[in-house]
Amino acid sequence: MKIGVVGLGYVGMVTALSFSSLGHDVVGVDVDQARVQALRNGKSPVYEPGAEDYLARTRAVFTSHYSELNGCELVFIAVGTPPLSDGSQNLAFLRSAVDSLRQSGYRGAVVPRSTVLPGTTKRVVAPYFEHVGYNPEFLAEGSAFRDFFNPDKIVLGYEDEHTLSLLREAYEKIQAPRLEMDLSTAELVKYANNAFLSLKVAYANEIGNISKNIGVDVYRVMDAVGLDRRIGREFLNAGIGFGGSCFPKDLSALIAFSREVGYEPVLLRAIYEQNAGQPYRLVSLLKTRYPTLQGLKVGVLGLAFKPNTDDVREGPSIKIVSKLLEEGAEVHAYDPRATENFRKVNPELSTRVRYHSSARECVQSSDAVLILTEWQEFSDSSLYDGKPVFEGRRIFGREGVGW
Ligand code: UDX
């Protein structure tokens, strides 16, 4: 079938390339000409393992003209829904995509993939299109293609049978439980799913902080807890807290939404609060060895919010580097992929950091080393040259925030 994808960021690009590799005719639209041109040239605008392989063999068409979507039976919208200052959702990009779709004369089904609060699709999309659905994605950066083709579930939100049949056809080649439900339920599933994953992380960090104070290794504790079939080991890795463009944003939005609908979300607030303080625990740990950081050369290995991505959004590295600089440390940093994005995220902060082109050079320039991202290359113990290493993410399990 002919499928459109509006918004070619982390989610939209993976969605377009994946549907295309399933044999659908795909048209990907983005208003960012540079992004479109990069994709046409087979270059992924973001780092995602496998993207360039899919780009090399895709038949998908990339354009900035919405008019090329005419003829599509189904258009997914995968534009950003970033948080506003009060944590609520910024729907400007979604509204703009809907308006452009309308003006282009498109009359087929419209299905947002972006994470939107319950009621949003009905309020923002349904008034303008006869056939509307909602299809949340559960793609994690760094494993997005694997997640697309091997999902735990496919959630199809719909209000009319025609849209449901189109969504079934789009996904027919993927084996996974399908949950077909109304729009609001499907929209809440995404938030509930992400909030629970962030709860697991915050819980592991809470137990890790207790463990640290009694000399227990929280990973050993979670290896046992995770064997409980009702719990599961994944997302119980303690560290410097969760970051990324999803968990913090989605939690804030769900907290704001809960209040709008008359409920004070005490547990969600606790997750947010626990996570907000977690990055600073690594700086406190460093200060148990160096009471003052003034003039201390601190090597920071890893800036990305997790390995195998170039994304630093809401990453713990931003808070940690800020705190180190505030305490007078001389910060040296290295990340295999995320340095450029880190420079952009906070230009003022960024000019005060000394960037290196290798982990070894960064360590050699430092008195002590902090590991903020568990990139595979950081597990080479010869890197550290006997320097004190403090782990914000588990590499060796020697000295870390929860072990
Ligand atoms: C997440 C969800 O996993 C995905 O399903 C959803 O569609 C988008 O949000 P992502 O944000 O890309 O994906 O990364 P994820 O792998 O979930 O990690 C999120 C954060 O939690 C990272 O900062 C990671 O370091 C942290 N984390 C994860 C932990 O600290 N401990 C863990 O055990 C797992």
The arrangement of strands across the sheet holding 61-63 comes to 61-63, 25-29, 2-6, 74-77, 109-112
Atom of ligand 1 nearest to the CA of 316: 23
Q: Compute, in angstroms, the gap from residue 242 CA to the centroid of ligand 1.
A: 7
- Give distance in angstroms: CA of 352 to centre of ligand 1: 28
What is the atom index within ligand 1 of the atom nearest the CA of 374?
25
> Which residue ranges in the chain fall short of pLDDT 50?
none
Q: Residues with Cβ within 6 A of ligand 1?
A: 137-141, 194, 197, 201, 235-237, 239, 242-244, 246-247, 305-306
Structural domain that includes position 345 = 279-403
* Predicted pLDDT of residue 248: 94
The reply to whether 287 and 345 lie within a common domain is yes
Nearest-CA residue for ligand 1 atom 26 is 242
pLDDT tens figures, 208-247? 999 999 999 999 999 999 999 999 999 999 999 999 989 9
Same domain, 177 and 128: yes
Are residue 9 and residue 154 in the same domain, yes or no? yes
Q: What is the predicted pLDDT for the residue at 349?
A: 82
Q: Provide the number of structural domains found in the chain.
A: 3
Distance from residue 233's CA to the centre of ligand 1 (Å): 14
- Residue 246: active-site member: yes
Choice among 72, 246, 255, 320 that is catalytic: 246
**Do 206 and 216 belong to one domain?**
yes
Indicate whether this model's pTM tops 0.85.
yes
Among 131, 134, 129, CA closest to 102: 129
Atom of ligand 1 nearest to the CA of 305: 23
Query: Which of the listed residues 11, 15, 235, 317 should we mutate to test ligand 1's pocket, taking the one with most ligand atoms within 8 A of CB?
Result: 235
pLDDT in tens, 349-365: 888 999 999 999 999 99
State in Å: Cα 305 to ligand 1 middle: 9
Q: How much is the pLDDT for 154? A: 98
Judge if 24 and 160 occupy the same domain. Answer: yes
Last residue of a domain, one of 243, 261, 277: 277
CA of 141 relative to ligand 1 center, distance in Å: 8
Q: Is 149 found in the same domain as 20? A: yes
User: Are residues 136 and 240 both part of a single domain?
Assistant: no
Of 159, 181, 203, which marks where a domain is finished? 181
Instruction: Please tell me whether residues 400 and 292 are part of one structural domain.
Output: yes
Domain co-membership, 216 together with 241: yes
Rounded to the nearest angstrom, the distance between the alpha carbon of 293 and the centre of ligand 1 is 30
Probe ligand 1: pick from 222, 305, 335, max atoms within 8 Å of CB?
A: 305
Report the CATH number at residue 234.
Answer: 3.40.50.720
240 in the same domain as 159: no
CA-proximal residue: ligand 1, atom 2 (nearest): 140
Q: Which of 254, 277, 300 is the last residue of a domain?
A: 277
pLDDT of residue 119: 97
- 116 and 47 within one domain: yes
> Which atom of ligand 1 sits closest to the CA of residue 147?
5
Do residues 15 and 155 share a domain?
yes
